[in-house]
Amino acid sequence: MSHFSLQARWVLPIERPPIAGGVVSIAGGIISAVGDRPSGDGPLYDLGNVVLMPALVNTHTHLEFSQLDKPLGRPGMPLPEWIRLVIANRQGAKQNRDDDILSGLHESLRHGVTTIGDITSKAASRPVPQPAPQLISFQEAIGFSAARVDSALTDIRQRIKSSHPPAALSPHAPYTVHPKLLERLVDLACKQQMPIAMHLAESPEELELLASASGPFRELLLERSMWDDRAIPLGTKPIDYLKSLARAPRSLAIHGNYFSAEEIEFLAARRERMSVVYCPRTHAYFEHSLYPLEQMLAAGVRVALGTDSRASNPDLNLLNEMRFVANRYSGIPSSRILAMGTLAGAQALGLEEKIGSLEPGKWADLVAVACDAECQEPEAAILHDSTVTAKTWLRGLLQ
């Protein structure tokens, strides 16, 4: 097994303060020590003027759209209209989307992302060629009418069996998933100890559907012969879905653009098992009202970051998401934003024992970001300077 150490202008362990001239020692793809001098045998490589930190976690995306050149539709368009474009894109797509997934994996790795929470609408037809980022493959379930619950569940069970990366579950959204189907999927997540992710509180049109069984999503479902008058009781709110998701070992509420104070409090009280995934530039693409990020962080909600897909975002670069947050929320400390793109994502996916910070025993998944020779504030420099991802290591191997 190979032993070596990497020295950098700054090392950012994430759970501890930055170390000037820090050293990360690696043995057999695992971090063996983090400090100010090498530990153990093997050569010491000086990386020069870089900030060395844990590789990034893209907690939410849909890699099957990775070959799109630009987002679908136009900025500020209502979500139900955009969903129509997504459906048309999927129907026009080739049967096998492995190439799209591969393209997304390569793009992610180039940007220092080594773990991805991916939503997939079908099981992969072959294993992902290695080396590649670690993929947590959330199998998407759709079934809005009561009549569709059993068949949607059967389909999901099949896909879990044939899933090559570790499987997880994704009841798509309240406007596509019957509450009973959600309950059955949460049962399955509990039984198989899998994480479960659901798009939730994403748009005003979703809240309208839940509150009064009316609006553009009702129209869309009627048009597609998916509507069920009795699926959603009048007066339903996102918290009703959160209460179901709270039973799972790990659950991820994707977006949460319109969470109420009550919902934020509910999530904060369950932060060890429940996370929110904020997709900053996708949120901006739809021109939603201001994201309740400061309220969530102040309440203690665990917030991870995702790019969402290239159908609503220009790229899969998580560093760009963190920079977007830093620009928009000047009151949030840089260290907090960096933790959202690393450790919070690891915790959301149930992988905090392996990735997300530089600690002995964790995987040597690392990224080096260029910095100035005089850099005194490495966390701010990563988020505010126009530095680039210099190098990525996957289990100790330079990519």
Site for Zn ion, rule CB under 5 A: 308
Residue with Cβ nearer Zn ion (6 or 196): 196
Nearest-CA neighbor of 62 among 156, 162, 135? 135
Minimal distance, residue 170 CB to Zn ion, in Å: 9
Cα distances from 382 to residues 6, 155, 255, 333, 372, in angstroms, run: 19, 43, 24, 12, 10
What is the smallest separation between the CB atom of 366 and Zn ion, expressed in angstroms?
Answer: 27
CB of 254 to Zn ion, least distance (A): 6
Residue placing its CB nearer to Zn ion in the complex, 308 or 379: 308
Residue 258: CB minimum distance to Zn ion, A: 15
Distance in angstroms (rounded) separating the CA atoms of residues 150 and 296 = 36
Least separation, in Å, of the C-beta of 118 and Zn ion? Answer: 10
- Which lies closer to Zn ion via its Cβ, residue 159 or residue 362? 159
CA 257, CA 248: separation in Å to the nearest integer?
22
- In the complex, minimum distance from the CB of residue 312 to Zn ion, in angstroms, rounded to a whole number: 8
Secondary structure element (H or E) that encloses residue 265, with its range: helix 261-269
- 3-class secondary-structure state, position 366: strand
Comparing CB distances to Zn ion, the nearer of 267 and 279 is: 279
Nearest to Zn ion of 107, 308 (CB atom):
308
Query: In the complex, what is the shortest distance from the CB of residue 84 to Zn ion, in angstroms, rounded to a whole number?
Result: 16
Amino acid in the structure at residue 300? G
Instruction: Encode burial over 48-71: b for 16+ CB neighbours within 10 A, e otherwise.
Output: ebbbbbbbbbbbbbbbbbbbbeeb
Residue number, 56 or 213, with CB nearest to Zn ion = 56
* Nearest residue to 264 via CA among 293, 304, 233: 293
DSSP 9-75: SEE--SSS--EET-EEEEETTEEEEEESS--SSS-EEE--SEEEEEPEEEEEE-GGGTT-SS-SS-T
CB nearer Zn ion, residue 163 or residue 307: 307
